[in-house]
Structure 1
Amino acid sequence: MADATGLEALDTPCLLLDEARLRENVERMRARLAGLGVAFRPHLKTAKSRDVARLAMAAPEGPAIVSTLREAEYFCEAGLRDVIYGVGIAPDKLARVAAVRARGADLAVILDSLEQAEAVAAHAARTGDPLPVLIEVDADGHRSGVAPDDAETLVAIGRRLVAGAASLRGVLLHAGHSYALSDPEALADAAEAERVAAVSAAGILRAAGLPCPVVSVGSTPTARFARDLTGITEVRAGVFMFGDLFQAGVGAVEPEDIALSVLATVIGHQRKKGWIITDAGWMALSRDRGTARQAVDQGYGAVCDLAGRPYPDLIVADANQEHGIVALRRGSGAELPDLPIGARLRILPNHACATGAQHDRYHVLDDAGRVAKIWPRINGW
């Protein structure tokens, strides 16, 4: 690269990844969970990259969790073996699950209804493959799952799976409500509620004579703030690896830990309106506006200089498909920076998963801020 940072030669908009920050985030989480005595199962749904997975996983074989069967196929082709498909199974997807398993991967699925259990049991009986299953338990009313005290449903699902020659591997919970919190004590309480729900559900299965070797919990906020994980066998988390403005608003990551950004170019001005126009609209940043519900609304992203230092109160205030409108946050007393046409800037994402999904590769930055590597990433289901 001809310039000092190596970023001026890139076509924009494009996705940048600070490798040092990524590694630090992963090591910090590993150390924290090791200190709490539990295994770490990284979620690869944010990364969608084999190169990132190699840094996140304990070994090339895993463990890991994914959110799409496309991810399962992609990572298992590269040697991943211990993996959970972490979205409730639809019966018509069992053939794809079976194809991944036939290639040597121990791919497990999750479910939360007797209807799904019937389909999985029938599949296992028909194919002779004892498909491993985790029962999804509802930690906090956020989304899917069996209530942790619904013994009748938990036992009925477990017995149907075992009777149908499937393998009941355990329970899985996701404390999604934690994303609506920001107080450290409230987040610690959410982590404890998740733990109690998981242990309760596991106890119900075991009391009925059913196996429950895995008790799996996870979200970035609860992984960050959990004080005690007694009775838990593994924790799942993924977005912490990259960090984003939403997680910073929750308090699960620090703003300086955010490893992902979008490189953009200034293409115009509306000086009377206090606007700087860039070539990174919502097609590059995503439409995610999750921070609008937080104490600090970051618009479509926070704007930084080429070294990754945020400009005071400068955000992408609005976005069209291919145009980003950069302006000072409403009510700010900061001064709009002088960014002429052709100037480069970096935008921190609201939601790393959504922003990453707009791109097919990471431009990986070394310690000097130069692009040292290109890491491909995938999308799709």
Structure 2
Amino acid sequence: MRTLHDLDTPFAVVDRSRVLANVARLRERLAPHNVVLRPHVKTAKSTEVAELIFDGRPGPITVSTLAEAEAFADKGFRDITYAVGITAQKLPRIRALQERGVVVTVLLDSVEQAEAVAGIPALIEVDCDGHRGGVSATGDELAQIGQVLTESGSLAGILLHAGESYFAYTPQELKAAAVNEADVARRAATTLRQAGLDVPTVSIGSTPTAHAFTTDIDLSGITEVRAGNYVFFDLVMAGIGVCTVDDLALSVVVTVIGHQTSRGQILTDGGWMATSRDRGTARQPIDQGYGLVAELDGTLIPDLLMSDASQEHGTLSLRPGSPYPLPNLPIGTRLRILPNHACATAAQHRQYTVISSQADLVVENVWERIQGW
């Protein structure tokens, strides 16, 4: 029987009980709205995590790479949305998946792309908040793209992503982002239908807005909701109030390797190659450095942060102004780092070491991650 004491550090740990709780929470949140949940697997990149969402069966998913699409297709997933703008050189791999009976729906926001994807189902990306890609919900370009896709039998619908919701810090702001996302989606669908075009899929979602869809929010006309980060959650999501630190299912185990007592620092073997350089909480009301620090059983150490990172060294120090003394953590002590951004931290690892619950140090399983593009 292996435990978290037995493995070489650093390594990524997933608490299966917390994943299940996070999955159940979103499922319950969306249940009154009669929409399909199409989880985004880009966070975990793990077929085992996706199977927890679908109770062991394949279901509709969103991917961010064709490597994900191919790996999930190998496991029986047959309804996949590739939610990154399509380019022509990727079409042969998509057609190869089609030949295997996999429906891969692509994403685009230009006439040029629409002309290239003839015969492949496509969603038009609509911009709802100026965050990234997409066309206006009411402009001529949307209908023009829709017409090109319709002529080749490729128009599958529209897709929106409320990227600015990641910078909403109150329940009111999150709810406003969720309402806006749904409203803009309906306007875009109306634009296409007024042009005589069918819009079978109206896809919206992000982890923040999906959790803000209270029963009084109108999701009529919305067919599906996407979210991905919610399976693990992270400090950014905790910082905007979508979850609490106790909901975080991913952490990285590191070992104390040195001390710089005069500088109030503790060194570990977990640098940015283990935790990533993501500093997503720096723009939030509470800056969590490169991550919070917990004992191996998951108990948070008060005010101790991963305050700096080089490639293979992590630096731990107290939060500025902390009333607590620097803890006595001898060389060899194992700790857990709770990440700012679960997607970025998970991407540093080839596999997850799985435990059944936060305080259970027994290794229950190992889940491989999908890597590459």
TM-score (norm: length of structure 2):
0.97
- Structure 1 vs Structure 2 CA RMSD: 1.1
* TM-superposition CA deviations, 1:116-161 (whole Å, max 9, x none): 11111xxx3xxxxx311110000100000011111x1111111111
In structure 2, distance between residues paired with 1:37 and 1:365: 33
In structure 1, distance between residues paired with 2:91 and 2:317: 49
Structure 1 position 288 matched with structure 2 position 278: yes
The answer as to whether partners of 1:57 and 1:64 remain within 8 angstroms in 2 is no
The residue that corresponds to 2:213 in the other structure is: 226
Comparing 137-146 with 59-68, greater Cα deviation is found at 59-68
The answer as to whether partners of 1:41 and 1:57 remain within 8 angstroms in 2 is no
The residue that corresponds to 1:191 in the other structure is: 178
Offset at residue 60 of structure 1 (A): 3.2
The residue that corresponds to 1:72 in the other structure is: 69
Unaligned 5+ residue runs, structure 2?
none
The residue that corresponds to 2:233 in the other structure is: 243
In structure 1, distance between residues paired with 2:150 and 2:173: 38
Give the AA of the match of 2:150.
V
The answer as to whether partners of 1:264 and 1:345 remain within 8 angstroms in 2 is yes
Give the AA of the match of 1:132.
P
In structure 2, distance between residues paired with 1:167 and 1:58: 31
Structure 1 position 145 matched with structure 2 position 137: no
The residue that corresponds to 1:252 in the other structure is: 242
Give the AA of the match of 1:215.
V
In structure 1, distance between residues paired with 2:293 and 2:56: 36
The residue that corresponds to 1:344 in the other structure is: 334
In structure 2, distance between residues paired with 1:192 and 1:248: 21
The residue that corresponds to 1:268 in the other structure is: 258
In structure 2, distance between residues paired with 1:67 and 1:166: 24
Runs of 4+ in 1 over 2 A off after TM superposition: 57-61
The residue that corresponds to 1:201 in the other structure is: 188
The residue that corresponds to 2:99 in the other structure is: 102
The equivalences for 1:1-381 within 5 A come to 1=1, 6-57=3-54, 60-120=57-117, 124=118, 130-150=119-139, 152-163=140-151, 165-227=152-214, 228=217, 229-367=219-357, 368-381=360-373
* TM-superposition CA deviations, 1:343-374 (whole Å, max 9, x none): 00000011000000000010000133321100
In structure 1, distance between residues paired with 2:332 and 2:144: 63
SS at match of 2:226: strand
* TM-superposition CA deviations, 1:48-103 (whole Å, max 9, x none): 11111111236633200000111111111111101100001011111111111111
Q: Percent identity?
A: 55
Offset at residue 167 of structure 1 (A): 2.0
The answer as to whether partners of 2:129 and 2:163 remain within 8 angstroms in 1 is yes
In structure 1, distance between residues paired with 2:361 and 2:190: 50
Unaligned 5+ residue runs, structure 1?
125-129
The answer as to whether partners of 1:49 and 1:378 remain within 8 angstroms in 2 is yes
The answer as to whether partners of 1:242 and 1:259 remain within 8 angstroms in 2 is yes
How many positions carry a matched residue from both structures? 368
In structure 1, distance between residues paired with 2:201 and 2:181: 15
Give the AA of the match of 2:26.
M
In structure 1, distance between residues paired with 2:203 and 2:169: 23
Give the AA of the match of 1:143.
R
The residue that corresponds to 1:127 in the other structure is: none
SS at match of 1:237: coil
The answer as to whether partners of 1:46 and 1:356 remain within 8 angstroms in 2 is yes
SS at match of 1:317: strand
